[in-house]
Structures are given as structure tokens and as C-alpha cells.
Amino acid sequence: MELRHLRYFVCVAEIENVSRAALNLHISQPALSRQIRDLEDELGVLVLERTAKSVSLTEAGRVFLKEARAVLERADQAIKKARAVAGADIELRVGHSPTPIAPLLPVILRAFQRAMPQVRLRLYDWTNTENLRGLREGRLHLAFAWLPPRKSALQTLRFEALRQEHSRLAVSPKHRFARRDSVSLAEAAREPFVGYNRGEYRDYYRRLNTVFAKVTAKPRIVEEHDGFSSLIPAIESGRGVALVSESFVHSAGKRVKLVRLTPEAKPATLAIVAPAGPLSAAAEKFWQCAKDAASQAAR
């Protein structure tokens, strides 16, 4: 048994989805499934119950998860101490969701690289909920996240707003709405919707409910997707429309058309977030680079 087996298992157990865990770990889904089976073969017990769309922990898996996390935490501490003694590079772990931060991230990364070339940066493509959880659990140093409606929900986290974005209706360029500047919420609600996976993107559905709170008819979701890479072709092909943020266009380009919704809901706030308390020098510099990039974009 190797540490990578434990890391793979913990990632799958926390996300409860092998496909998304494989994306986060940057390995193929079959390879990840094989590593988990190898782990179970060595343990002699099943640690995961598998269904068509998700996985869950067995009783043995719940016990093993607690111990695996402890082993990994101890190993990480040992690595950090060894690197500190040897003067090795610092690592900064930053969570993000690709679509909302797409306009700013290249600018931030270039500025941070120039300022602190000795720091190794690791980016994690996680959902908003996963990013906030990663900060609270100490797995991330910083994250870009949509702020919840009630700031009190952030509790042990500090944040700084970077930009505000309105919600838009994304439609196929061939859709009849594509020729219009705006559509009413009532008109939009009558269309079939495609969206993100309900179990993993809870914040997305909270936003959907907020935007359409003023109309009686609510959007009907006909397809759910694991990420924007599959959501874009679903919209482009006309299988449905979708509620997205304005920055979605940076990922989708001309493959979709964004249309304003009326009446317009309050914009959502994208922020950089960190655990409460002092930041490391690397985290402080990255935080400042994010603020500078947002300020430049606003000008």
C-alpha cells in the first residue's frame, strides 16, 4: 500500500463521484477505479459501495477514511518539515472554479509568478462548496468562490470581493432568443433547462431559485452535467438553455449567446477567500495579485 492509494481513496470518499475525483487527481477514471480496487484487495474488505452515478462509504470505509486522513496529514507534516530544513520551495494551494475566474486568472498567475517564482502553485478545479470546505479543512490556502447570500455563513473565513456578475440566460446561437437583447423570467422558465449536477453544485441551484423567485413557473431541468465542458455543447446543440454568470462567455466563446433576464436579480459576488487569521507571505502576495487584477479589469 502506498500513500497515493490513500490519497485516491480520500478524494473519492469526499467527492462521492469517481469521475470528478479522477479530474481533480488528473488521472483517468479507469486508472482511479483500478487503484481503489487494488486498495480493497490489499485490505481484504470493501471500502466503497458503488452505484451507477455515485459511490458511498461502507462501514469499514468510514473507519478507514478517518485513519487514512490521519496518515496523510502526518505524512504532509513530515514533508513540510523536511522541505523547510532543506530550504525547498513553498507550495501554495488555491481552489477555483474555471468559469467565473477565467477573465482574471491568467493575469493573476503572471503577476504572482513574477513576484514569487520560488513558490510552487497548485490549482484545484472544485465546485464552490468544495472550495469553501477545502479552506475550512486546511486542504487549501486560498480559493476563489461565489459569496453566499448571508455573509455569516462564511464564519471562520475571511474574504475580499473581486467582482460582481449578473446572471444571464445562455442559449444556442440558433435559438429564437439569440436575436434578442433580453427575455423575461416568465418566458425563460418555459424553456427546457440544462444545468450542473444537483448533488455537487448546490450553490448553482440556490442561485437558480433566487433568480426565478419572482415568477410562478420555475425552470425544468432536463439534463444535468458534471462541468462546463459538457454543459457548453448541450446548450450549443439546443438541448436546453441554462442559467450562467456573465463570465461564462470566456469559456464558451461564440458557441452560445448570453441574453439578459428581466427583471434582473442582484448580482453575485466573486471573492478571494482564506481561513481567518494571518496569511503566509506567499498567500498574501497572491491575494494582492488577485485584488490588483480585479481592479485593473474594473478600469
Q: One fold for both 91-162+270-298 and 167-266?
A: yes
pLDDT at position 213: 94
pLDDT at position 84: 58
**Quick one: CATH architecture of 3-86?**
Orthogonal Bundle (1.10)
Summarize the confidence of residues 32-61 as an average pLDDT: 85
pLDDT at position 85: 54
Q: pTM here? A: 0.66
**Four-residue CA torsion sign, 32, 35, 39, 41:** positive
- What residues does 274 pair with on adjacent strands? 158
- What superfamily would CATH give domain 91-162+270-298? Periplasmic binding protein-like II (3.40.190.10)
* Distance set, CA 228 to CA 14, 203, 224 (Å): 21, 15, 11
Q: Is the peptide bond before 173 cis (omega within 30 degrees of 0)?
A: no
**Four-residue CA torsion sign, 13, 17, 20, 22:** positive
Q: Where are the domains of the chain?
A: 3-86, 91-162+270-298, 167-266
For domain 167-266, give its CATH number from 3.30.1360.40, 3.40.190.10, 3.40.50.620, 3.30.1300.10.
3.40.190.10
At 56-91, the pLDDT tens digits run: 888 888 898 888 889 988 888 887 666 555 444 588
CA distance 183 to 259: 7
